[in-house]
Structure 1
Amino acid sequence: MDYSKLVIIFAVLYSVSGKEYEYQQSGRTFRSWSDISSGVSSLASFIWGVEYILNGKGADGDVTAQDAYLTITELARKYGYNMEEHKVMTEDGYILTVHRLQGRNATLNGKVVFLMHGIIESSDSWDLQGPGKALGYILADNGYDVWMGNARGNKHAMSHKELDAKNSDFWEFTWEEIGLYDLPAMIDHVLNMTGKERLYYVGHSQGHMPTGASAAQFVHFGQLVNSGRFSRFDFGEDINMVEYGLPSPPDYDVTKITVPVEMFYSDNDMLSAEADVDILKGKLPYVIGYNFLEGFTHLDFLYAYNAKDKIYDKILRRINEN
């Protein structure tokens, strides 16, 4: 299946996000985006499930129609894996679900891996391909303690200590808040639960199949495209002066990212151009791997039949080397 067609559909939806955000700014709700997201999510899940079943690509060949209707936890347990659901509250009150996956028969090797989805996705994306295919299961089978995060606003993170998801105030965030609050809260929880001082982090972009996101996230991405900069949210000159003390938003300083980074990119990714990846590579101080994947679309990094051979096996080898 050509998943790029789905990406085109999503791109069309993204184009309305600016209008949706204006509604929120004027005091009106933009729940219509959630309605759109829910509908497209159901369609995408159905398409994926049909292909998954017809191709017979599942756990040890044992794929049933039921799999398309099971939750990530139900799927893991069906195939004999241990799956836990942890609730984590962020500093600003969002309640996130973090899934913990451990292997069927593997002995834990003492290493922890944290997997993080992109925009309008969820922890499901790391397990949908099934055992032997999906990165979550592959890592678990090799003895890793696998934790899968969920960002505010997706289907596993729709709660807040005070705000209701039906209220527009709940959706007043971009991916900056995910980086500032969600990731630290989840990673700290994982380190506390495992007693470890460090972990391995694997992330997939910030754009693919929908399970929930704020319209402001898409506005922010659009601003980056228009400006050609990797900068904070642009509220307009007056509010920027209040928020940042500058008429335009400041850039993120990625040179401060000092951890080793392995990168995978493609010439056919509509949401992550080669030129942009090259710019990022040039600014990151510690890139230990730069892997080109010819012809891969944005979703192929997760769902391609050869993702295991092209990507996941390399990730596994790299982690094993350390």
Structure 2
Amino acid sequence: MRWFFVLIFMLGNEFVHLHPDENLSLIQVIKKYNYPVEEHVIETADGYLLKAQRIPHGLRNSKPKEVALLAHGMGGSAENWILLGPPDSLAYLMADRGYDVWLFNSRGTLHSRKHKTLDPNRNRKQFWNFSWHEIAVYDLVDTVNYILNVTKKEALFYVGHSQGTTISFVMQSEIPEMNDKIKATALLAPSAFLQYTPSAIVTLGARLKGLGETVLPFIIQYTPSSMSTKQVWHYGQVVETGEFKKYDYGKKTNLKRYNSTKPPFYDFSKVKAPMGIFYGDSDPFATPRMAEEFVKVVPNLVLNYQVPIRGFNHLDFLLAHNIKELVYDKICELFSNYTS
């Protein structure tokens, strides 16, 4: 992600005005706007300690009927879902519409840099030895199960952005019984068929350049959150081979891990929870061409939605000033079809 820091350096001189929430923690920001908030620690099956923040209800309702989990993209964290502030950020919006909202934080990120026995600095090789595969089959699985245990629900709604969509695909294909624990998914900038990805650096830089100066320092405070290089390499393998499959360790190690010299594919036919995909015309990581592939392979695609505005990009799913009307209302409308 070196390119990200190059962009920040280029834009740094333009950060003149401060965002009012700059230097506040996530919990402090949510409390500032009078929303209830809790923080939970979730231990994964392989020993990582993840924090999940919960907004149990909105400002005018105290008995939510449904549970929703929001999952960030690579380099992101729970803060991604509150950047615009209330009432338009998705975490606040869904809480106000009757959802018990939980914010996911994958291993290694801002809120999830602890392990039962490993230190991220002293035991770097072991601690950071994961890609988004492990985030899916450990972090996401254990987070979903934890939330359902706490809330006494049988299933929840899921919103993922970028890598948050990737881990949804992996979880449901690798552990098919998890499909029954997901009422429906809304996948923003779904990332799997990355062989169709054009160059992203210039495009993303242009989007950052166009953001208002007051919100940028607040974004930079939390983005990018830390990640493993293996996450990036795994995506790189997908781009290079055009194949959405498990991490390629080389023939010798693959044979030991997978009983095959080549890594196995993720099976989209097992991804059966009702799914809506959302994408823009100018998103290098989730193009309309990629959306065509999802239509071919996903068995329960119930919404195929291209945002109806020219120039809509990857970051717009979190930062566009009109994102509520363009996307978030559509998410709530989709989920309403599957509420109790």
Same-fold call, TM cutoff 0.5:
yes
Change (3 A) 1:46 1:237: same
1:128 aligns with 2:144: no
Counterpart AA for 2:71: M
Superposed CA RMSD = 2.4
Post-superposition shift, 1:103? 1.3
Q: What is the aligned partner in structure 1 of residue 150 from structure 2? A: 193
1:289 aligns with 2:303: yes
Post-superposition shift, 1:44? 11
Which stretches of structure 1, 4 residues or longer, exceed 3 Å deviation after superposition?
Answer: 10-13, 39-51
Q: What is the aligned partner in structure 1 of residue 39 from structure 2? A: 85
Instruction: For 2:11 and 2:78, locate their aligned partners in 1 and report how far apart those are by CA, in whole Å.
Output: 14
Q: What is the aligned partner in structure 2 of residue 149 from structure 1? A: 104
1:159 aligns with 2:114: yes
* Contact 1:41 1:211 (8 Å CA) reproduced: no
Q: What is the aligned partner in structure 2 of residue 272 from structure 1? A: 286
Q: What is the aligned partner in structure 2 of residue 224 from structure 1? A: 238
* Contact 2:288 2:306 (8 Å CA) reproduced: no
Q: What is the aligned partner in structure 2 of residue 109 from structure 1? A: 64
Give the alignment partner of residue 3 of structure 2, picking from 12, 28, 35: 12
Counterpart AA for 1:73: I
Instruction: For 1:95 and 1:140, locate their aligned partners in 2 and report how far apart those are by CA, in whole Å.
Output: 25
Number of residue equivalences: 276
Change (3 A) 1:49 1:285: farther
1:234 aligns with 2:248: yes
User: Percent of pairs identical after alignment?
Assistant: 38
Give the alignment partner of residue 53 of structure 2, picking from 95, 99, 120: 99
Post-superposition shift, 1:40? 7.7
Post-superposition shift, 1:274? 2.4
Counterpart AA for 2:299: P
* Contact 1:45 1:68 (8 Å CA) reproduced: no
Instruction: For 2:312 and 2:334, locate their aligned partners in 1 and report how far apart those are by CA, in whole Å.
Output: 21
1:244 aligns with 2:235: no
SS class of match (1:96)? strand
Change (3 A) 1:185 1:117: same
Q: What is the aligned partner in structure 2 of residue 174 from structure 1? A: 131
Change (3 A) 1:107 1:147: same
* Contact 2:107 2:135 (8 Å CA) reproduced: yes
Instruction: For 1:304 and 1:47, locate their aligned partners in 2 and report how far apart those are by CA, in whole Å.
Output: 23
Post-superposition shift, 1:143? 1.7
* Contact 1:41 1:210 (8 Å CA) reproduced: no
Change (3 A) 1:199 1:47: farther
Counterpart AA for 1:126: W
Post-superposition shift, 1:133? 1.4
Counterpart AA for 1:180: V
Instruction: For 1:267 and 1:73, locate their aligned partners in 2 and report how far apart those are by CA, in whole Å.
Output: 34
1:240-265 CA-partner distances (Å, limit 9, x unpaired): 11111111111110110111001001
Give the alignment partner of residue 268 of structure 2, picking from 230, 254, 259: 254
Give the alignment partner of residue 21 of structure 2, picking from 40, 61, 67: 67
Q: What is the aligned partner in structure 2 of residue 321 from structure 1? A: 337
User: Any stretches of 5+ residues in structure 1 without a counterpart?
Assistant: 1-9, 14-38, 54-64
Normalising by structure 1, we get a TM-score of 0.80
Q: What is the aligned partner in structure 1 of residue 316 from structure 2? A: 300
Instruction: For 1:289 and 1:318, locate their aligned partners in 2 and report how far apart those are by CA, in whole Å.
Output: 8
Change (3 A) 1:44 1:217: farther
User: Any stretches of 5+ residues in structure 2 without a counterpart?
Assistant: 165-203, 205-222
Stretch of structure 1 that moved more, 268-277 or 81-90: 268-277
1:38-77 CA-partner distances (Å, limit 9, x unpaired): x6898799899868x6xxxxxxxxxxx4411111110110
Normalising by structure 2, we get a TM-score of 0.76
* Contact 1:96 1:157 (8 Å CA) reproduced: yes
Q: What is the aligned partner in structure 1 of residue 197 from structure 2? A: none
